[in-house]
Chain A
Amino acid sequence: MDDQSLPARHGQLLRLTTAGSVDDGKSTLIGRLLADCGALTRDQMETLTAARPNGEDHIDFARVTDGLSAEREQGITIDVAYRYFSTPQRAFILADVPGHEQYTRNMVTGASNAHAALFLVDVRHGMTRQTRRHATIAALLGIKKAVFAINKMDLVDYRRESFAEAKAALQAFCAKLPFSRVHYLPVSAKMGDNVVHGSQAMAWYDGASLLEILEGLSAGEEGLDLPFRLPIQLAAWPQDTAAPDFRGYMGRIASGRVAIGDRVRISPGARESRVASIGGPDGPLGAAVTGQSVTVTLTDQVDAGRGHMLAAADAPPREAREIRAIVCWLDDAPQDPRAPYLLRTGTVAVPVRIEAPDYLIDIDTLDRVGGDRPLAANDIGAVSIRLKDDIAFDAFGDNPATGAFIIIDSRTNATVAAGMIGHEILG
């Protein structure tokens, strides 16, 4: 799992989520990363220096991630703040998740759109309960690439043994998680060692700096080799255009690829047709791939619309009116087995009943613990869900884009839970 080879992946956007508490130096690391990449402008740098009360010329990088005044006043933390920076190699979007409170909810939200997770570890503490939780949640959400920045090396005199000790503990735990690639590196966010530049104080470390590791991670290829899936957002029947016969199905390709002539199934259901044309943002295309927004026409007149999915006919999605899933409860109000919830996946929303959980997952140990009580905020549990209508889906482990869902309380319109179809996600 340890992989120091770093193939160049030019230009692909990397969505990264970070976790760790202020005590681990996460804010300082983010500030240092942005500043050393040149992503902070002069006026932004000035706000970091101007705020120092004692007049030192030291720049407080941690202030980059300062909260809003509303957060301070209301005693809350908004779950995710987004930061943007780039290098000649690629652009990055960093979803910065506060680590200390509501950690499960925040991590789930930040991780749901990330290609990779960056974990901050204090070298003096090594593996902590919080790190175990963060890593587990990232793995649960399907993140395959993890980077552990073992921080505060300056406080242990940059000793190789301290790094090795912390790394060994992390490795032992990560062996239980389905990451496909894990990096460990020693850094000092405060002093800048191995963040963007190398480290003179740690000449014994001959691996890549944090930025080099991030630049080398592959991203955006996850869905390409999976079967074609296009949840239909809208069916277009323009009344007044130059193309009156036009019947277009609009959507963003969730996985796989599609070409003119491909046989597709309209799911749920057994109807099939062929792709007659594919319209992209700049005009007709012969083929299209994951991530592209397209308008597809078919060779047959079929009754399809929002809530249907166009899918590869030879590898169609599953259909069911009852599913089992891992659910993370997000709302402050606990699960109410009689409440009128809606399940939203892809572009479909269906009324559902959610039974009391079969079991909860102890996020510290990955053990199953007794169910028999409704899910409450930050709980993760396995549930059975009954749906009013059939839906088309894949198991999350097979295809995250068509196996993820949210639960909405139709009385309050709140998004109360996030879920992943299937029970064997961590297996």
Chain B
Amino acid sequence: MSLQADDRREAPTDGLERTSVARPEHLESLESEAIYILREVGAQFERPTLLFSGGKDSAVVLHLAVKAFAPGPMPFTLLHIDTGHNYPEVLAFRDEAAAQARAKLIVRKVEDSITAGRVVLKHPGESRNAHQSVTLLDAIEEFRLDACIGGARRDEEKARAKERVFSFRDSFGGWEPRRQRPELWNLYQGRVDAGEHMRVFPLSDWTEADIWRYISRQGIALPPLYFAHDREVVERGELLVPVHPLIPLKDGESPVRRRVRFRTIGDITCTCPVASNAATPEEVLAETLAAELSERGATRLDDTVSEVAMERRKLSGYF
């Protein structure tokens, strides 16, 4: 099923569709805005990096960054903070995409932060998701990075809805709502002193549906986990939890084989797939437009713990 020409689904009772309809001018405008932002980073910073996990949002940012500076080289290194709990397919994709972009890929591991005593796990099975911040801030210091480009979007979550495009971080790496700079017109202001840095979010105004439309239109490659495949899962409340050595089964849980895809891919211990038959970006887009649950609500084991979980992580330097 192709939805590129016209994204209309069957109309709900009120005659309105619940998510946006692709019009070329909208997507092109988002693309030009993101390219403008990426070029501002190229112009304003000395040691910028692009945080690249191999996930769909960072794949879109990388694609845009390559386009923004073509035919010249992209002026960003790529940085991946590896929790050690990533799916091998994603890491393989990460390496391939970096090579294709002719970009230098730096990998820093949470495992090394644990060995060095910088991260102390409460128990061996604890999710390493929040601990990435420590490894990230250490890498920022190690390479004296002055800008980190990320793929976060404002439509993802409440704390993100208030995020700037250029988000100032002090020398502790924290996001201080009180110290955010007013952001007016398109005059992105990136001045930082030594030890401080800027997080930059070129996809701020994109929605999940925009991302899939763009992936579809531009033919952007993604890890296969984003498309329907058979996987052992257990049903835990509304979540489908992948069966994996890192995620212990609870009493009474028995694995079932389901056709699933990942809507978002992070640390193995905190992202869940959703039931799906979507094998192409167009089919994923159709499902996205019809989805009943938000991207994070459907898939994140960590954010469901508390409504303020994301905000807390951001305050301490999370992406």
Chain A residues engaging chain B, CB cutoff 8 angstroms: 10-13, 36-39, 41-44, 47, 66, 68-71, 74, 76, 78-88, 90-91, 93, 105, 108-109, 112-113, 196-197, 211, 220, 233-234, 236-238, 240-243, 246, 248, 250-252, 279, 281, 291-293, 306, 330, 344-345, 347, 400-401, 404-406, 408, 410, 413-415, 418
Question: Mask for B21-49, Cβ within 8 A of A = 1, else 0?
Answer: 10111101101110110011011000000
Other A-B contacts than A42-B292, A81-B162, A413-B192, 14 sampled, CB-CB below 8 A, are: A38-B14, A43-B298, A68-B159, A68-B308, A82-B161, A82-B162, A84-B205, A87-B16, A91-B26, A113-B185, A241-B71, A293-B32, A347-B43, A404-B185
B185 and A112 contact, CB distance less than 8 A: yes
Say yes or no: A196-B16 contact (C-beta < 8 A), given A13-B29, A70-B315. yes
Looking at the assembled complex, report how far the CB atom of A228 sits from the nearest CB atom of chain B, in whole angstroms. 16
Say if the beta carbon of B189 comes within 8 Å of chain A. Answer: yes
Can you name the residue of chain A whose Cβ is closest to the Cβ of B175? A70
B69 within 8 A of A: yes
A236 to chain B, nearest CB (A): 5
Query: Which 4 A/B pairs are nearest by Cβ-Cβ distance?
Result: A11-B23, A38-B18, A86-B20, A43-B297
B201 to chain A, nearest CB (A): 11
The answer to whether A293 touches B36 (Cβ under 8 A) is yes
The CA-CA distance from A243 to B73 in the complex, in Å, is 12
Contacts of B204 in A (CB 8 A): 82
Which bracket fits the contact residues of B? 35 or more
Q: Is the interface of B mostly helix, strand, loop or mixed?
A: loop
Q: Let me know if B280 is at the binding interface, CB within 8 A.
A: no
Question: Residue on A with the closest CB to B35?
Answer: A293
B235 CB-CB contact with A under 8 Å: no
Residues in chain B near residue A42, CB distance under 8 A: 292-293, 297
Q: Which of A88, A246, A404, A408 contacts B16 (CB 8 A)?
A: A88
A91 proximity list for chain B (CB < 8 A): 20-21, 23, 26, 207
- How many residue pairs bridge A and B at CB < 8 Å? 195
Task: List 18 interface pairs A-B (beta carbons < 8 Å), by A numbering.
Answer: A37-B16, A41-B292, A43-B298, A66-B158, A68-B177, A69-B308, A86-B20, A93-B205, A109-B184, A196-B14, A242-B71, A250-B69, A281-B67, A291-B32, A306-B43, A330-B182, A413-B193, A418-B182
Assembled-state Cα–Cα distance A12/B292 (Å) = 25
In the assembled complex, the Cα of A331 lies from the Cα of B184 at a distance in Å of 13
User: Footprint of A on B, CB under 8 Å?
Assistant: 8, 12, 14, 16-21, 23-26, 28-29, 31-33, 35-36, 39-40, 42-43, 67-73, 154-155, 158-159, 161-162, 177-178, 180-187, 189, 191-193, 204-205, 207, 291-294, 297-298, 307-308, 311, 315
Instruction: Verify B178–A74 contact, CB threshold 8 A.
Output: yes
Given A93-B205, A293-B68, does the pair A86, B19 have CB atoms closer than 8 Å?
A: yes
- Residue with the greatest number of chain A CB neighbours at <10 A, chosen from B180, B184, B294: B184
The docked-state distance in angstroms from the alpha carbon of A359 to that of B184 is 23
Cα distance A404–B315 when bound, in Å?
32
Contact indicator A87/B17 (Cβ below 8 Å): yes
Q: Check A38–B16 contact: CB distance below 8 A.
A: yes
Contact check, A252 vs B29: say whether CB atoms are below 8 A apart: no
* A237 to B72 Cα, complex, angstroms: 8
Q: Is the CB of A80 within 8 A of B32?
A: no
* A406 partner residues in chain B, CB cutoff 8 A: 182, 184-185, 187, 189
Asked if A345 and B187 make an inter-chain contact with CB atoms under 8 angstroms apart, the answer reads: yes
- B155 x A84 contact (CB < 8 A): yes
**Interface contact B69-A36, CB-CB below 8 Å:** no
Query: Is the Cβ of B39 less than 8 Å from the Cβ of A281?
Result: no
Check B72–A238 contact: CB distance below 8 A. yes
